[in-house]
Amino acid sequence: MTQRHNVISREQLIGLLALTLMWGLNWPMMKLSLRELPALYFRSTTMAMGATWLAVYYMHQGIRMWPQGREWRDIVVLGVPNILLWHSFAILGVQALPSGRASILGFTMPVWTVVLGALFMGAGLNRRNVLATAAALAGIGLLISHEFGALQGQPVGVFWMELGAICWGFGTLLMRRMQSTLPVQALTVWMMWLSCPFIGVAAVATETWPSLDLSWWGWISVAYSVLINYGFAQIIWFGMARDLPASTSAMSIMAVPVVGTLCATVVVGEFPHWQDYVAMLCVLLAISAVLLPQRNTRGSTPS
């Protein structure tokens, strides 16, 4: 492996910090939106607009955006768990739970990737994976118990978030197995585009028509979702993901629920309970166990 894969540049560090902040802040910003908009209407509308401006940007970059042949199959197969189900269940979880708590539960997805791989795809479990699973389940159990015990607790929100995380974990396994010839930027845009109508249909069937009489903060939160979450964050990630060391990517993923929980206090006035902090530690332990590379005791360079 060349040196550039082991050393992060100053530009990459700045981009990674910005990306972690964008993804972490997105959780309380979603909660801010859901105070004034129905969850599924919000999700389908902002995703459609975000995917559209992202597509325009990538077309100007000269990236091939139009799928060909079996690439349409890849979009559907990968889009259902990675976009349609994950985003639908996650927004329902954010609607029911404090946003910081939802982010902690949502980022158990790397653990579910390991568990599903072991159960259905023949991947083995080592000690670190078992530890990760136990830690994640401990954190989930702690938050479920608090939701049951709280006066206004909504344990169904925990169910929505973990169902979404499981779908994302399964989608990650599919992404690793299916080597699509469509550029990943185009694949992401089309997965979002094709998911939006289905989320919209679910919104029409289950929610009341939204009012556009939003507060300033309501419009700011919608703009954040369209321009930042579905836009600039994706551009930054695709621009540097392939060149980041695995440990650096893992640390960024671990930081997102921490940022989300801390920002929720400022943005939406949520104050975490001790259960949230302990569950966060459990989830961080789980993520580090499955994502951080093991030390090479022989001193050789990993390939």
Cα 187 to the center of its chain, rounded Å: 16
Which phi and psi (to 5°) does residue 219 adopt?
-65, -35
Look-up of token digits 């009012």: 211
Based on the number of CB atoms within 10 Å of its own CB, is 137 exposed (0-12), middle (13-18) or buried (19 or more)? middle
| 143 within 8 A of 279, measured Cβ to Cβ | yes
Alpha helices, DSSP H, located in 97-232 = 99-106, 109-120, 127-149, 155-177, 184-206, 216-223
Interacting residues of 248 by C-beta distance below 8 A, sequence separation 6+: 8, 12, 16
Query: Which tens digits make up the pLDDT trace of 53-103?
Result: 999 999 999 999 999 999 999 999 999 999 999 999 999 999 999 999 999
- Structural domain spans, the chain: 3-210+223-291
**Measured between alpha carbons, how far is 293 from 303 in angstroms, rounded to an integer?**
12
**pTM for the full predicted model:** 0.88
**Measured between alpha carbons, how far is 12 from 8 in angstroms, rounded to an integer?**
6
| 196 within 8 A of 44, measured Cβ to Cβ | yes
Amino acid letter, residue 180: S
Based on the number of CB atoms within 10 Å of its own CB, is 1 exposed (0-12), middle (13-18) or buried (19 or more)? exposed
For the chain, list residues with pLDDT below 70: 1-7, 151-152, 241-242, 244, 246-248, 294-303
Structure tokens at 268: 């939406």
Query: Which tens digits make up the pLDDT trace of 100-141?
Result: 999 999 999 888 988 898 888 777 778 888 998 899 999 999
